[in-house]
Amino acid sequence: MAIKVLVVDDSSFFRRRMSEIINADPRLTVVGNATNGKEACELVKVLQPDVITMDIEMPVMDGITAVREIMKIAPTPILMFSSLTQAGAKATLDALDAGALDFLPKKFEDIARNRDEAVDLLQKRVAELAGKRFYLRRNNGASSAIKPVSTPSVRATVAMMPNVATTTNTRISTVATSTSRAVTGAVITPKIPLRFRASGKKYQLVAIGTSTGGPVALQQILTQLPANFPYPILLVQHMPMSFTPAFAVRLNNLCRIEVKEAQDGDILRAGVAYLAPGGQQMMVDGRAPNARLRIIDSGERMNYKPCVDVTFGSAAKVFNDRVLSIVLTGMGADGRDGARMLKANGSTVWAQDEESCVVYGMPQAVAKAGISSHDLPLDRIAECILIELGLS
């Protein structure tokens, strides 16, 4: 069955253009059009779309208000379209806070190098977001489990189940993992307690890479870190050039740590998170612990601007085994090669787990390659960072 898409925009030209592109993909079909947010809310109840494409500026009810309303009445994956302006950036970030899962520039020339590439990207984004209604509902509820990559066998799991005593320790977080086994066609998932213990490694840097779903994920993690966080943090979020200044300001206003858009020559300081500027690459230069940042042009051949692999790779060369790195939700495989370099030098690599990802692409690439030591649910990552660094 084709993925049902609702197109919401006050421009008849853009609605027609979007419908043609979406219907050209055999996986997708446009089931309705709305000219404003109020119409969208009404049609969502009737049409029950799998994905919604949403404009921000519309009469009667704007896109941000519509997102909030839809998340109340029928949580549905929403792809926002916005202008690449400072005002457009702020509005898009507000829409993501309201519950939208992803965004794209409204002008196709800002999406990719040519029309065919832009059309392909748009169709892939819509298809990728389909089926995320369960994600939206689940993430309004309880937290998921922290899963070490080496999952215990079913026999070991069953043997351990009688010993479910709780242990209190300021350096231990009691969490759960699961192992599945098939019994007469059914899947049984017993839960057992595991203790997330600090590895005892020494660190000098934290590095985080992400893409689709990343703005909300980064906000959730960084707002839980204390003002006296003892290490610098590098943030690489796939985002247009005009968006990263507004995103850095937003994070800085919400967090106890300082967050800034990285500038060429910045000396890495403890308790400061440096956001890679959109459209450029952020590299670490010098010697640890007194390293500094280099911000360089990407060139036409780079697919990601900024690129997680570039930042992670340069951090591996400067900080060797002293990096705690995390790959969060995102489409594609950016971060895998850089994480591989970090692990080869003895650094720690974690990945966000599938259940809490908007798009399980980048973390999956790291996990499948055997690079990550833990798959972590989003709502426990900050806690695990503090435990690993000896701050909790």
Question: How far is Cα 359 from Cα 328, in angstroms, rounded to an integer?
Answer: 9
Task: Reduce the DSSP state of residue 368 to 3 states and report it.
Answer: helix
Question: How far is Cα 275 from Cα 278, in angstroms, rounded to an integer?
Answer: 9
**Is 211 designated active site?**
yes
Question: How far is Cα 288 from Cα 283, in angstroms, rounded to an integer?
Answer: 13
Catalytic residue among 334, 337, 353, 375: 334
If you search the block for the tokens 């009810």, which residue do you land on? 61
Query: CA dist 206 to 23, 235, 389, Å?
Result: 43, 9, 10
**In the structure, how many helices (H) and strands (E) does the chain have?**
13, 19
Contacts of 44 (CB under 8 A, 6+ apart): 6, 52, 70, 73, 74, 76
Residue type, 242: S
Query: CA dist 262 to 180, 253, 259, Å?
Result: 44, 16, 9
For the record, the structure tokens of 341 come out as 């370099």
Task: Reduce the DSSP state of residue 257 to 3 states and report it.
Answer: coil
Catalytic residue among 10, 238, 347, 374: 238
Cβ neighbour number for residue 2 with a 10 Å cutoff: 15
Q: What is the torsional sign of CA 75, 81, 84, 86? A: negative
| β partners of residue 29 | 4
Catalytic residue among 82, 144, 211, 314: 211
Residues labelled as active-site residues:
211, 238, 334
